[in-house]
Amino acid sequence: MTDEIKRHLVEVAVSDTSIKNDKLYTYSVPEHLRKHVSLGARVLVSFGRSKPRIGVILGVDVSCDIETDNIKEILEIERGNPVLNEDLVDLIFYIKKNTLCRYFDAIKAVLPKNSRLIVDLMGKSPKLTSPSSHLETVYLTNEAVSETKMTKRQREVYDLITSDGKGMTLRQIRAETSVSKSVIDKLVATGALSEEERLKEPELFGNELDKYIDFELTPKQQKVFDSISEQVKSKKRDTTLLYGVTGSGKTVIFIKLVEKVLAEKKTAVVLVPEIVLATQMIYRLRRLFGDRVGLIHSSLSDVERHIQWERIRNGNCDIVVGTRSAVFAPVGNIGIIIIDEHQEQSYLSEQNPRYSAVETAAYRAKRHGAHLLLSSATPSIESYHDAVKGRINLVSLEERYKDMPLPDVEIIDMKEEMMLGNSGLISLELSEKIRERITRGEQCILLLNRRGYRTLTLCRSCRESVKCRYCDSALVYHKVKNRYICHICGFSRSYFDKCEECGGELKNLGIGTQKIEEQLAEVFPEARIMRLDFDAVSKKGSAAAKIKAFSERKYDILIGTQMVAKGLDFDNVTLVGVLSVDQLLLMPSFRANERTFSILTQVVGRSGRGEKKGSAVIQTLDPTNKVIELAAKQDYNSFYEWEIISRKAHLYPPFCSISSVGILGKDEKKVIKAAGFISKLIEKKVTKGDKIPIRVLGPVPMRVSYAGNNYRYKLTIKSRGDESFVEMMDSIVKEYYESREFSDIRIYVNFYDDSE
């Protein structure tokens, strides 16, 4: 094949292909479109007998064994700068390879939703059209016609836009003049005004931009900063773990590192586990860096997300803050990627593609020659193990900022409370401490990791629970909405009080954050109470508004789920109460101890972060539990030494990698049979291959064994998790889908299964 022909051939990932047919397809580029060809450009192609589909060019100047006369031509190609640059195209291949997803699943993960082109099939020639909701028309004045005769209203508009100097939108003009659009249209028609399409200005941050604040480092923080800076400079290791107790001032070090990177004309990415923390982090960074900070998280509207994406892509932002998906931000020349609370489960995608933001960040940092900083008061067992073994750099902050003391922690035995006649969820001791704080004008944070009003509804007669129609999950009663809601799939239905099985009376049991909020209002009628959970922050801007109100001391008590446990910094909080910890320890996961220790340590650390000493109360039915005792002491090192022994004895990470194969279908017996088929495929591969050390467990029903009208089973696999294992699983998935026996049973592989 000649070079001339190769230049006219491209490899395209086509949308909506099946897993079996997911590959790159070769297309030729007609002469009139060749000047627009570039890697990452979106195209319109014919595919089989279906309507034209969207595709993305992932290879250019390619060779092909097919006769060129049999190669289909591209129908249309996007104009201008392609939304996917070479760096993001490389990430697509990385996600595809390491999650075994389809090409377009990876593309959709990388691209903001609003940027996905629309196929316009109206008319004879199909074409690509871009959503324009992220753009707005700006009006500019033409000085050459400034002396043209105008009406009073027209002159008012013309002079206003001239004085602004940058151009104004219709909304801005009307806010100043109250003129109709016809006045502006007339000025455009006469040439006095011109129109220009521009990216909308973001309206995400309100008026929170403060004047410059210098964040000074203490001597201990300076030592840590210098150590990390030396690692960045020397490139001896590309990853550093920053372990710092709660309140040690890790965020200030982040800010100083970002400042240093920007001074070197590079960019920075800061990932946080919760949207609430993204809001707080971006306000801190904007105090120093202003509009150079971009924000990406799932609560942004499609338009807002696309605006942020374009600002970053166009080079208007050299700092990106966000949750998991911000790891795909189109930022170049990265100098550092910071992952705060890197151990959090929220960095793992539970939907296709099932990727790890931490692993993806590590890959991206390596590609850019950037430094990866993992940070936490409770590092993952795996990352701390790597640090202990010298695989990554370790720096520590063992004391709080300015040597402030850690909170005093009291463990309350709730069995004794019951013996005293207190069957509620707030112990007498905690109740008294809350009252003391309210009297002194101090604030409290209470953690209950169960949202809703009542968490279980049972029939008094037949004991049947109220369950979701589409899942195997109990519905949770939400009093505010007066509805039963499934926390798995989102299904909801109106409140009812009679059992659908026998007609008996239903009884609501269990307590969620809404019920505790109501009980607190009864016990402390004088207290101003705020709830912070998923339901309370579902509206845009509500999380930021609530955090701001609490920091301004407009509320006395903050009750919430694990949202309140991490990263929040309120200097007037002197009491933290953990209402119930036992359900965390009972999680069916090898990480139950680790997660319990983490959430307890983190939430206790919200207390006493100002000048006043803090205290905390942990309520439990198991007061002598080792995890609870070590968390109360904030003793991570002892917890690690204790936990690592158990992990090694039972062969859990970091001594192996845990993956899973999910098997889903409408026929339960066939799902189980498919699982057996996959087990045999694995056994055959291991026997014939390089004898990769593997243990296959199951199949067993998933924690949610029925959802979306599908039975859900899984195989759990312990392995080295290396490249040879990934390649083996890729071949198994392909072989499975080539079998016609299980065409109606879907499977997926999760290399980052954290649930068991």
Residue range 130-150, pLDDT digits in tens: 555 555 666 777 766 666 678
Task: Check pLDDT > 80 for residue 280.
Answer: no
Residue 467 Rama label (left phi>0; alpha psi -120 to 50; beta): beta
- Note the pLDDT of residue 321: 93
Tell whether 175 and 141 lie within a shared domain: yes
Q: Where are the beta strands (DSSP E) in 323-430?
A: 334-340, 371-376, 393-397, 408-413
Q: Which residues of 347-360 are buried (b: 16+ CB within 10 A; e: fewer)?
A: bbbeebbbbbbbbb
**Mean pLDDT within 727-749:** 92
Task: Tell me if 670 is assigned to some domain.
Answer: yes
Task: Check pLDDT > 70 for residue 489.
Answer: no
325 DSSP 8-state letter: G
Tell whether 417 and 526 lie within a shared domain: yes
**Mean pLDDT within 535-553:** 73
Q: Per the omega criterion (within 30 degrees of 0), is the bond before 654 cis?
A: yes
Tell whether 160 and 273 lie within a shared domain: no
Task: Tell me if 457 is assigned to some domain.
Answer: no
Residue 38, domain CATH: 3.40.1440.60
| % the chain with pLDDT above 70 | 85
Which of the residue ranges 32-36, 66-70, 320-324 would you say has the lowest mean pLDDT? Answer: 66-70
**Mean pLDDT within 408-427:** 88
Q: CA 720 to CA 580: how far, in whole Å?
A: 37
Task: Tell me if 525 is assigned to some domain.
Answer: yes
Task: Tell me if 478 is assigned to some domain.
Answer: no
User: At residue 667, what is the residue type?
Assistant: D
Residue with tokens 């996959």: 678
CB count in 10 Å sphere of residue 651: 12
Residue 439, domain CATH: 3.40.50.300
Q: CA 602 to CA 245: how far, in whole Å?
A: 9
- Note the pLDDT of residue 270: 95
What confidence tier does 480 reach under pLDDT thresholds 50, 70, 90?
low
Task: Tell me if 231 is assigned to some domain.
Answer: yes
Q: Per the omega criterion (within 30 degrees of 0), is the bond before 699 cis?
A: yes
What confidence tier does 304 reach under pLDDT thresholds 50, 70, 90?
confident
Does an H or E element contain 636, and which? helix 636-649
- Note the pLDDT of residue 302: 75
What's the pLDDT tens digit per position in 685-721? 886 655 567 899 989 988 888 888 889 999 999 998 8
Q: Which residue has the higher pLDDT, 472 or 269?
A: 269
Tell whether 191 and 258 lie within a shared domain: no
- Note the pLDDT of residue 1: 47
Tell whether 182 and 274 lie within a shared domain: no
Tell whether 153 and 195 lie within a shared domain: yes
Task: Tell me if 421 is assigned to some domain.
Answer: yes
Q: CA 143 to CA 354: how far, in whole Å?
A: 56
The alpha-helical segments, DSSP class H, found in 440-478 are none
Residues contacting residue 450 through CB under 8 Å, at least 6 positions apart = 510, 511, 512, 513, 561, 580, 583
What's the pLDDT tens digit per position in 169-198? 777 777 777 788 887 888 877 777 777 766
Task: Tell me if 207 is assigned to some domain.
Answer: no
Cα of first residue to Cα of last residue in the chain, in angstroms, is 52
Q: CA 514 to CA 602: how far, in whole Å?
A: 22
**Mean pLDDT within 99-123:** 77
- Note the pLDDT of residue 40: 92
Determine contact, residues 445/606, Cβ cutoff 8 Å: yes
- Note the pLDDT of residue 534: 66
- Note the pLDDT of residue 731: 93
Q: Which of residues 403, 428, 463 is at a domain's end?
A: 403
Q: CA 556 to CA 573: how far, in whole Å?
A: 9
Tell whether 422 and 396 lie within a shared domain: no
What confidence tier does 453 reach under pLDDT thresholds 50, 70, 90?
very low
What confidence tier does 211 reach under pLDDT thresholds 50, 70, 90?
very low
Residue 8, SS3 per DSSP: coil
Tell whether 392 and 413 lie within a shared domain: no
Which of the residue ranges 369-378, 403-412, 673-682 would you say has the lowest mean pLDDT? Answer: 403-412
Task: Tell me if 679 is assigned to some domain.
Answer: yes
Residue 702, SS3 per DSSP: strand
**What length is written for the chain?**
756
Residue among 690, 696, 692, 695 nearest 677 (CA): 696
Tell whether 150 and 117 lie within a shared domain: no
Strands 573-578 and 615-620: parallel
- Note the pLDDT of residue 368: 94
Tell whether 434 and 324 lie within a shared domain: no
Which of the residue ranges 31-40, 107-116, 390-399, 595-604 would you say has the lowest mean pLDDT? Answer: 107-116
Instruction: Give the chain's mean pLDDT.
Output: 84
CB count in 10 Å sphere of residue 172: 17
Q: CA 28 to CA 63: how far, in whole Å?
A: 11
Q: Which of residues 106, 129, 152 is at a domain's end?
A: 129
Q: Which domain, by its residues, includes 285? A: 219-403
- Note the pLDDT of residue 92: 96
Determine contact, residues 437/570, Cβ cutoff 8 Å: no
Number of structural domains (the chain) is: 5
Tell whether 121 and 168 lie within a shared domain: no
Determine contact, residues 256/338, Cβ cutoff 8 Å: no
Residue 717, domain CATH: 3.30.70.600
Q: Which of residues 102, 129, 156 is at a domain's end?
A: 129
- Note the pLDDT of residue 446: 93
Tell whether 103 and 156 lie within a shared domain: no
235 DSSP 8-state letter: -
User: At residue 710, what is the residue type?
Assistant: N
Does an H or E element contain 172, and which? helix 170-177
